[in-house]
Amino acid sequence: MDDNILTLDGIEKSHARTKVLRGITLKIPRGQFVLLMGASGSGKTTLLRIVAGLERPDSGSVALRSVVVDNPAGKVFVPPERRGLGMVFQDYALWPHLTCLENITAAIPSRSLFKARSERMERARSLVRDVSLEGLEERYPAQLSGGQQQRVGLARALAARPDLLLLDEPLSGLDVEIRGRMRDNIRQLVRKTSCSALFVTHDPVDVWRLADRVLMLEEGRIIQDATPDTLYGCPRSPRIARLTGAEGAFTVTLQKRDMQWGFESVTGFQPVTPVGLITEGPARAYIRPEGVRQINEGYVARRIDMTFEAGRWRVLWHLPQLGWSLHSLEPEIPPEQTCLAFDARHLFVYPV
């Protein structure tokens, strides 16, 4: 039996003459929380809208619970309201003339598991408790804060017990504290309901706080499909390396020596973490602050600036031998001038 909630096969989409999605193929099993990330214009929102049925692909197929719901070649199209999906948007999409409780109740169709009005009301009140909105049931959206409105939107999306929850940057309009609480709310509720989630975001924090799996889109293609720890340990592109905290870049000449990839540095042969298909020759190197350390002999570095962050000093150095500046994380205030070296676990190179 196929346990995949969502299956996409060869999804292609163009807007005017611009190719937006290129051969997107993926499967999302039951209960998995998947983040969809990429720069503006990479195609992530378009892909979410195709899954929802708000846009149609030019070619390829969309299947939910092994049932094809969109296939232009086969002339198959199931409209959004019949796909059984939950959707949460950045603008909340609440009915302004309905109270908090009424907004949630209205999202529970009478043909669902909750046929009687009393059952639908009890389901709505249960969701109010789940999203911590007790005492606000009779308030209208205009009387709620942004975080409270977003929780109503989340409860609405989960009201009919969907197998798949689609979220389009639902946290981007919230302040930092509320965003943190909402991350916890969303993940706990997805776990509690055993539904799958496809979450579009541009915030790297969401990767570490929410995801079981991350899909990275660049120019309409999935260039990396990985768990958060794999994404951190082996980012497949410079953009993904920067997402995981790496800074760059300086130019090196990549070579392979005794089965180890690296480049010549002032301290000798500097090993690197190989990523994807790499070859000998010019490359650009990226390093995370946690991979920069002080040593007795290395790249001469002059301290430019520093800030105190979460128990450590984040120090900006200039390295004249590289003509480049980078950060390190230090437990104490470092000297104004020192020597630095790099940890291969946090140093990534990509061919020029």
Residues 223 and 338 in one domain: no
What are the residue ranges of helices labelled H in 146-175? 146-158
Angle subtended at Cα 273 by Cα 268 and Cα 274, rounded to the nearest 5 degrees: 110
Number of domains the chain contains: 2
The backbone torsions φ and ψ at residue 143, rounded to the nearest 5 degrees and listed phi first, read: -95, 5
Edge-to-edge order in the sheet of strand 4-15? 18-29, 4-15, 59-64, 67-71, 76-77
Domain extent at residue 323: 245-351
Residues 224 and 344 in one domain: no
So what's the pLDDT on residue 113? 60
Residues 274 and 204 in one domain: no
The backbone torsions φ and ψ at residue 302, rounded to the nearest 5 degrees and listed phi first, read: -110, 130
So what's the pLDDT on residue 142? 94
In a domain, 238, yes or no: no
Residues 187 and 286 in one domain: no
What does 296-325 look like in DSSP terms, one character per residue? SSSEEEEEEEEEEETTEEEEEEEETTTTEE
pLDDT digits (tens, 9 = 90+) for 64-107: 999 999 999 999 999 998 999 999 887 777 899 999 999 999 88
Domain CATH code at residue 153 = 3.40.50.300
Among candidate residues 179, 211, 233, the one where a domain is terminated? 233
In a domain, 240, yes or no: no
Average pLDDT for the chain:
91
Chain position carrying tokens 């948007």: 89
Residues 277 and 223 in one domain: no
What are the residue ranges of helices labelled H in the chain? 44-52, 100-106, 117-130, 146-158, 176-193, 204-210, 228-233, 238-243
Residues 206 and 286 in one domain: no
In a domain, 258, yes or no: yes
pLDDT digits (tens, 9 = 90+) for 274-287: 777 678 899 999 99
